[in-house]
Chains A and B, each alone.
Chain A
Amino acid sequence: MSLARAPKLATVERWMQAVVMHPEGAASGVRAGPARRLMPQAAVDLETVVLPSKALSSVERLDIYAHMYYARLLEILTDEYPTTKQILGREAFERACRRFLRRHPSRHRTLNRLSEKFPAFLARHLPPGNRGRLAVDVARIERAMEDVFDAPQLELLTAAGFAAIGADQWQRVRLRVIPALRLLKLRYPANDYMNAVRAKGKPRIPRPRATYAIVYRRGYQVYRRDQMPEQFKLLSALAAGRTLAAAVRSSIRGRRASPEQLAAMLGAWFRDWAAAGLFGAS
């Protein structure tokens, strides 16, 4: 090819990207609209753009990159969503991943955020039914585990530090929830299901039941567990920046208990949360 006819670098890059990111492989990618509009001659005679080797045709050489693109990103998604995959089965999971990657290709230099829209994507695209809805809930937990893994560390509020907050301060004190905490209101007992998968392998798909999960990191270990609805409401109010007094009021409104019982209950909750490291020191 003469220099005068050589395609511009920007055109070559956009063309190659369109080809190797095509979900049906390089041969389809070369013929598809985006690549064809950039370099129509490639669709007619690919060898004018990519040379064959002694052993491989031009399209086979492009297919090495096309295969690696999906293989690499599928491996990432499989690592991040093992229980989602278990629920959907390998074939349906990988089909969903490919559709997701086509709709939401990576726009970041690191892979940490590749799948941040995956649970919402599954919610929109999985067929209705218990299996699909459970998969969405589990995917939300698995994504939250990725998020908290990378979240910043804070100096933590200890149980003693919490106990030192006098009752007279509750009206103005706002606890700082750690960045490595996610609160997930779910339609299924997804956390229990994940535990059962870890323990036994393949539990039955449960019926819908509202659950309230927290996912958090303590030190460098990621944890997940369910909370009671009132606990979840209280943590959510604190995370939203409400004062301690306002958050407590909103969460226990309507609960029948003596002041002593309430104080004991709240004390136990906060000791547990402080031990889990859910609040920052300042």
Chain B
Amino acid sequence: MTVVTEEPRVEELLALYQQMALIRATEKAAYDLFMAGLVKGTTHLASGQEAVAVGASAALEPDDYVFATYRGHHHAIARGASPEACLAELMSRATGLCRAKGGSMHLTVADRNMLGSYAIVGAHLPIACGAAWSAKLRGTSQVAVAFFGDGATNIGAFHEALNLAAVWRLPVLFVCENNLYMEYTSIKTVTAVAQPAAGRAPAYQLPAEVIDGNDVVAVQQAVAAAAARARAGDGPTVIEALTYRQYGHSRSDPGKYRPQEEVDAWLKRDPLLVLAERLRDRGVEQPAIDQLDAQAREEVAAAAEAAKAAPPPGEDSAFTDVWADGGAQWRT
């Protein structure tokens, strides 16, 4: 198991930066492709929330389970999806992560146990409990992590999940990415407690922690500690990571409901800037950091081109994968 209590080595920090830069560049590409009319439907970008995915992933084992929301590109990439497969999915290409049958809101990397992005708010929390229950039944040391937004804390499934996880002492981590807004509405104005996730945990007698979700190291340490508790049989933990999305809620939202001073303050706390500062404190020169950004942009530019060049899915694939036999036959 991974328990991080000390400051990571510089090489580790550089690797974290690389992943965050890759996600940032992918989200930028997704935005540009959307504006160019190449992504249909909607996208919910995670720019600004990269540290939660990358920090958590760094604290997990490869076979741990991850469940994400419709704002989940960062979790798919953090668990090993390629930017090309993600962008191809967004652009409805046959080479998409889900063969263009899921779209932006359903990125899934099952062979890395990233078991889906869920677009019904809060639905995946009980599902993550089930994966944790399964690990417990099979006697493995796996944990399940459900990432969710602040808005999910006001839906029934959140409460059913926390209670069941507590009663069954499941190895599950509930990680709230509190970006302060449920869609277009300040979470404060619609929630009875100040901390939407951590403030509810005591009702279920679960340990909870509010952390700086824009500090990748803080996330890594909190998740590592919670995972260690879960693996030791000590049950679930609620982590509320304070963060901020740099775009609006979804493609059509310019985010005008957010005060400019608030936006500016959070942009200064951009998770990549926070980590860059930490790297500089450890002796890494800014040009080396810039180089990582440039590499990520290049990699993603190539990925976007490759994705664009891929063919659309064959129409016959609309009639596959309903059933386990691969088909869609419902009658004789």
Bound pair: A and B?
Answer: no
Show the binding face of B for A, using Cβ within 8 Å: none
